[in-house]
A and B are shown apart, each in its own frame.
Chain A
Amino acid sequence: MPSKDMIGRVLSTGSATVTAEHVAAFAAALGDDNPEYRGAEAVAPPTYPIAFMAQAMAGGLETFLELGLDFMTLVHGEQEFEYARPIRVGETLTLTGRIGDIYEKQGSSGTLDFVVIETEARDAAGAPVFTSRNVLISRRT
């Protein structure tokens, strides 16, 4: 079971440039043909951070394994985004992911472990762009 001592630890980091192709492909996979998501001046759909984080971030696997979650029962339980402004094609964002919280709840099928991964995205000027909170849930077996 995850130790609360791990709250605040950096999990993974990364930096990447938002490309028109990546944003358009993501919008297309959602069947969303909005013109705001196409072209060199495009902005990104509100759930695009999930794709960008997967592309841009690396490392943290050892720390993640140290959490001791049960991978067979691990699910993405909840997701939250806060936006300071839209993500724009052509800009470079720097991401830092941390363990934001660790807690447990009693469920009908036993003890559930909750781990909150908080990822902050900043632009080249260091200004915040978005924050992601990803709640992972695993059942102790």
Chain B
Amino acid sequence: MPLDPRTVRPGEALPPLTKPPITRETLKAYGPAAGDPNPMHLDDEVARAAGYPGVFAHGMLSMGYLGELLHRAAGGVAGIRRFRARFVRLTWPGDVVTCRGTVTAVRDEDGQRLVDCEIWTEDQRGERKVVGSATLALRT
């Protein structure tokens, strides 16, 4: 359910979104679809040579998941005005990503109800990986 523009208030949680576990196939599909040829996400040897224990997920994959969270909260892509993410920790194959968000401010501007949110992804242990913010414009 999208946020209700009549009742939305700071502190309200966005409906959370849990994605299926990330697999190597998820990464093999995302890279070409996003035009990202970086082998760091596909080849363990390359990732190890750069000092990582193995391949890790594209930061933009997690941001894409957050986009789905925002799309649901706004009730459509037209309701997303601004969307920012910081890639704080890496997400690994086998991780189960849950996207969450909280409303931080509600304001009216040019006849629209604008809703600021803090958003983040967390893994199955509750560790935050990608953190950011967004502004939604809700239809009134």
Contact assessment for B35 and A76 in the assembled complex, using a CB-CB cutoff below 8 Å: no
User: Are B34 and A86 in contact, with the CB atoms below 8 A?
Assistant: no
Total B residues in contact with A, Cβ cutoff 8 Å: 32
Min CB gap A34→B, angstroms = 7
List B contacts of A53 (CB < 8 A): 35
Q: Using an 8 Å CB-CB cutoff, how does the interface string of B42-69 with A read, 1 for contact, 0 for none? A: 0000000010000000011101110110
In the complex, are the beta carbons of A81 and B83 less than 8 A apart?
A: yes
Interface stretch of the complex, out of B72-80, B106-114, B120-128: B72-80
Instruction: Kindly supply a per-residue 1/0 record for chain A positions 43-61, scoring 1 wherever the CB is within 8 Å of any chain B CB and 0 otherwise.
Output: 1111100110111000000
Within 8 A of B (CB), among A25-56: 25-26, 28-32, 34, 36, 43-47, 50-51, 53-55
- Are A54 and B34 in touch, CB under 8 angstroms? yes
Contact at B50–A47, with CB atoms within 8 Å? Answer: no
**Distance in angstroms between the alpha carbons of A45 and B34 in the assembled complex:** 12
Count chain A residues whose beta carbon lies closer than 8 angstroms to a beta carbon of B. 31
Asked if residues B63 and A47 are in contact (CB atoms below 8 Å), the reply is yes
Indicate if the CB atoms of A83 and B87 lie closer than 8 Å: no
- Cβ contacts under 8 Å, A72 to chain B: 50
Contact of B82 with A by CB under 8 A: yes
Contact A51 B78 (CB under 8 A): no
- Which chain B residue shows the least CB distance to A134? B60
Interface residues of A in 57-99 (CB under 8 A from B): 72, 75-83, 85-86
Contact among A46, A76, A80 with B67 in the assembled complex (CB-CB below 8 Å): A46
Query: 3 closest pairs, A vs B, by CB?
Result: A54-B35, A29-B33, A46-B67
Query: 17 extra interchain contacts, Cβ-Cβ under 8 A, other than A45-B77, A46-B80, A75-B87?
Result: A25-B33, A28-B33, A29-B32, A30-B61, A30-B65, A31-B19, A43-B77, A46-B83, A47-B60, A51-B33, A51-B34, A54-B35, A55-B35, A78-B84, A78-B85, A80-B82, A86-B78
